Amino acid sequence: MSAADSFAAPVAEVPGGGQTLLTVEHLTMRFGGLVAIDDVSFLGADGRITAIIGPNGAGKTTLFNCLTGFYKPTVGRLTLHHPEGEFLLERLEGYRTAQKASVARTFQNIRLFPRMTVLENLIVAQHNKLMRASGFTAAGLFGLKVYRDAEAKAVDLARYWLDHTKLTEKADVEAGNLPYGDQRRLEIARAMCTEPVLLCLDEPAAGLNPRESHDLNDLLRYIRNEHKIGILLIEHDMSVVMEISDHIIVLDYGRKISDGTPKAVRNDPAVIRAYLGQEEHEELPPEIMAGADNAGRSPDDA
């Protein structure tokens, strides 16, 4: 929780507006000789959706893994401006990023607890809160009221997110038995149940059909507008990205090649080069612009 003011970046405007929530400075991640992320810096804002896009292998997921404590960055500083103080994310190991700094994430290949029910998945997400309420199990073992109340509240929160992800009816179904689109939404609901300040979504629209993809847009907007948290979004589906993001960062071969509002990024020649390898096009190509029909992707492949 050490303050980072001595190293604070010059107060810059976040493209797309909003209060700075996340400051990434000179992030570099090497695996042996491979440089997955090379000196990337950017700002992420509170109450805004920041999309991170780029071709496959650009280092997007690695960036997420650095932010959420799965990898320790080789170089760089990741500051989270949490309401309770500043956290240096690169110093938080593993689970502590979620526990202390309230950073939540989802995974590219969905990671639910398949043999637990939907509701249980959401209750497990509130583990730390409930552990304290159960007096680290002692109070819970004797069924004290403190714990029973806390559990009821946890169920209420779960219920809230179930309602907003349209999963209420399936609350008692095993998560592994849900259809694919439901699993994606459940993972978001589970992340939200940790009551995060920063939500990192790794390709939430992958494998969704157009209707589900549209619902997802609504859900993400709702989270942004009503809960005022920052959302980082990795996404290939440009219909989602262009429609809902306030701010886009483009990575290519581990470097940041563009950073700005959707409009600015869309017209950035560097981005077009990265996606097409040539300079003539003024706009992003149609298959990137109109990813809405998800050409060539079936909902089940993931």
Partner 1 sequence: MAVSAAEGIDIRPLNLAAMVREASITALVVFALAIGLVGFETLDVPGGVAIRTRFADVAVVMALAFVGRIALILLREHRPRPVLIVAPILTAIMLVLLLSETIFGSESGAALKRFMPFHDPVVLWGVVAVTVILAVRAAYAQTHVSSSLTLEERDARMDRIGAGVQRAARLLGPLLLGAAIVLPFMPFADRRVLDIGVLVLMYVMLGWGLNIVVGLAGLLDLGYVAFYAVGAYSFALLATQFDVSFWVALPFAGLMAGTAGVLLGFPVLRLRGDYLAIVTLGFGEMIRVILLNWYSFTGGPDGVSGIPRPSFFGLAEFSRSVPDGTAFHEMFGLEYASIHRIIFLFYLILAMALVVNVFTMRIRKLPIGRAWEALREDETACRSLGINPRNTKLTAFGIGAMFAGFAGSFFATRQGFISPESFTFIESAVILAIVVLGGFGSQIGVVIAAVVLIGLPEFFRDLQQYRMLAFGMAMVLIMLWRPAGLLAHREPTLRLFGRDKKPETNS
Partner 2 sequence: MQNSFAYFLDQLINGLTLGSIYGLIAIGYTMVYGIIGMINFAHGEIFMIGAFVSIITFLLLGMAGVTWVPLALIIVLVVAMTLTAIYGWTLERVAYRPLRRSPRLAALITAIGMSIFLQNYVQLLQSARNKPMQPVVSGGVQVFEQQGYVVSLSFMQMIIIVLTVLLMIIFTTVIVRTTLGRAQRACEQDRDMAALIGVNVDRTISLTFVMGAALASVAGLMFLLYYGVIDFYIGFLAGIKAFTAAVLGGIGSLPGAMLGGILIGLIEAFWSGYFTVEYKDVAAFSILVLVLIFRPTGLLGKPDIEKV
Among 60, 164, 190, 236, binds partner 1 (CB under 8 A): 190
123 touching partner 1, by CB under 8 A: yes
The interface with partner 1 within residues 249-288 (CB under 8 A) comprises none
* Residue closer to partner 1 (CB basis): 134 or 245: 134
* Cα torsion angle, 78, 82, 84, 85, sign: positive
61 binds, among partner 1, partner 2, none (CB under 5 to 8 A by kind): partner 2
Among 79, 183, 194, 239, binds partner 1 (CB under 8 A): 194
> At closest approach, how far in Å is the CB of 70 from partner 2?
5
Q: Which of 32, 44, 40 is nearest to 60 (CA)?
A: 40
Among 40, 53, 67, 178, binds partner 1 (CB under 8 A): 178
> At closest approach, how far in Å is the CB of 171 from partner 1?
4
Is-contact 8 25, C-beta < 8 A? no
* Residue closer to partner 1 (CB basis): 177 or 298: 177
Residue with tokens 């290519």: 252
Distance CA 69, CA 65 (A): 6
Number of H helices, E strands in the chain: 12, 10
Paired sense of beta strands 20-31 and 75-82, if any: antiparallel
The interface with partner 1 within residues 67-86 (CB under 8 A) comprises 68-70
Distance CA 231, CA 257 (A): 21
Among 27, 112, 205, 232, binds partner 1 (CB under 8 A): 112
Under DSSP, is residue 283 helix (H, G, I), strand (E, B) or coil?
coil
Distance CA 107, CA 59 (A): 15
* Residue closer to partner 2 (CB basis): 61 or 217: 61
Name the DSSP letter for residue 294. Answer: -
* Cα torsion angle, 223, 225, 230, 234, sign: positive
Which residues contact partner 2 by CB under 8 A?
31, 61, 65, 70, 107-108
Q: Which of 30, 38, 24, 9 is nearest to 78 (CA)?
A: 24
Length of the chain: 302
280 binds, among partner 2, partner 1, none (CB under 5 to 8 A by kind): none
* Total chain residues near partner 1 (CB under 8 A): 54
Site string for partner 1, 129-168 (x = CB under 8 A): -xx--x-xx--xx-x---x---x---x--xx--x-----x
> At closest approach, how far in Å is the CB of 166 from partner 1?
12
Paired sense of beta strands 103-105 and 247-252, if any: unpaired
How many CB atoms are located within 10 Å of the residue 202 CB? 23
65 binds, among partner 2, partner 1, none (CB under 5 to 8 A by kind): partner 2
* Residue closer to partner 2 (CB basis): 110 or 186: 110
Name the DSSP letter for residue 5. Answer: G
Binding site for partner 1 (CB under 8 A): 68-70, 94-100, 104-105, 107, 111-117, 119-120, 123-125, 127-128, 130-131, 134, 136-137, 140-141, 143, 147, 151, 155, 158-159, 162, 168-173, 177-179, 182, 190-191, 194
